[in-house]
Amino acid sequence: MNISASVAQDLGIAIVAGRIAREDPFPTEVELCRHYGASRTVLREAIKMLTAKGLLVVRPRLGARIRPEREWNLLDPDVLQWLLERNFSYGLLVEFTEIRLTVEPGAAALAARSTDPTERKQIQDAIEGMFAAERGEADPLETDIAFHVAILNASGNRFYIQLRDMIEAALRFSIRRTHDFKGLMTTALDHKRIADAVLAGDGEAAAEAMRALILEALHLIRLAEAREQAGVSADAR
């Protein structure tokens, strides 16, 4: 990560976490240069990065201002990760999983048409990795993510493929939460049903298996959210 990207990340986290309030004046270029010990060129590049992520707007003579949260680019994996780390929100995770429900079954159906041997091998390798993770021989989080990324890649659809980084960023949070409830022992088998359908060229079965997998994840996230809310209510009493 270069200096500009490092400054952008630090500022981005500060904005998303609310350490720099939207109603307060955003630090000036001079103040930021002094704080980070960086040049104006470095700071301007960092501000451009945050502007592209929808966090800032820059106007002549007025400087930078923080944009309303509803205007932030949630498809940017950095913004999504910062939001999830800010104060973990099941509501945000539900919204993300609902997006997965509209994207990944379609990607699985398209992946079933793929005849590219490299893409098919990536799917098979990911499934083997998930079974290895159940034996304690691989990282369960990384192998699970590798499977979903392999499906997106195999779809051959450039729009699905470009969602890869965003899907990966949010999966790092959602998988941990669903594994806490479900455990790992059925995860590989559930994913293998999708892989088997994809590799058999059965797009309809692949889409349905993927939809079932994500619907279960959505159910588990909502269950976790309900338990958390019940705990908060009990504490309040």
Domain boundary among 71, 104, 123: 71
Asked if 115 and 171 sit in the same domain, the reply is: yes
Position 80, amino acid: L
* 236 burial level (CB within 10 Å; 0-12, 13-18, 19+): exposed
Cα 138 from Cα 100, distance rounded (Å):
25
Asked if 96 and 178 sit in the same domain, the reply is: yes
Asked if 94 and 183 sit in the same domain, the reply is: yes
The dihedral of CA 227, 87, 147, 203: what is its sign?
A: positive
pLDDT score at 183? 54
pLDDT score at 214? 93
Residue 101 lies in a domain: yes
Residue 49 lies in a domain: yes
* 136 burial level (CB within 10 Å; 0-12, 13-18, 19+): exposed
Residue 77 lies in a domain: no
Asked if 194 and 95 sit in the same domain, the reply is: yes
Give the residue numbers spanning the domain of 110. 88-236
Asked if 127 and 221 sit in the same domain, the reply is: yes
Asked if 58 and 101 sit in the same domain, the reply is: no
Residue 79 lies in a domain: no
CATH code: domain of residue 67: 1.10.10.10
Asked if 95 and 199 sit in the same domain, the reply is: yes
Residue 115 lies in a domain: yes
Asked if 67 and 163 sit in the same domain, the reply is: no
Residue 29 lies in a domain: yes
**Residue 153, token pair as written in the block:** 């890649």
What domain count does the chain have?
2
Write down the pTM of the prediction.
Answer: 0.79
**DSSP states along 31-98:** HHHHHHT--HHHHHHHHHHHHHTTSEEEETTTEEEEPPGGGS-TTSHHHHHHHHHHS--HHHHHHHHH
- How many other C-beta atoms can be found within 10 angstroms of the C-beta atom of residue 65? 14
**Residue 183, token pair as written in the block:** 């455990």
Asked if 110 and 227 sit in the same domain, the reply is: yes
Cα 206 from Cα 211, distance rounded (Å):
9
Residue 81 lies in a domain: no
Asked if 163 and 106 sit in the same domain, the reply is: yes
**Residue 28, token pair as written in the block:** 């000036």
- Pair 7, 43: CB distance under 8 Å: yes
- Which residue bears the tokens 């359908």? 197
Asked if 119 and 227 sit in the same domain, the reply is: yes
Residue 140 lies in a domain: yes
Asked if 53 and 158 sit in the same domain, the reply is: no
**Most distant CA pair in the chain, distance:** 61
Domain boundary among 15, 37, 71: 71
Domain boundary among 71, 98, 115: 71
CATH code: domain of residue 222: 1.20.120.530
Q: Give the pLDDT of the chain (237 residues) as one tens digit per residue.
A: 689 999 999 999 999 988 988 888 899 999 999 999 999 999 999 999 999 999 999 988 788 999 999 999 988 889 988 887 776 677 888 888 898 999 999 999 999 999 899 999 999 999 999 999 999 999 988 999 999 999 999 999 999 998 888 888 878 877 776 666 555 445 899 999 999 999 999 999 999 999 999 999 888 888 877 887 777 555 554
DSSP H helices, the chain, are 3-16, 29-36, 40-52, 77-86, 90-111, 117-134, 140-154, 158-162, 164-182, 187-199, 203-236
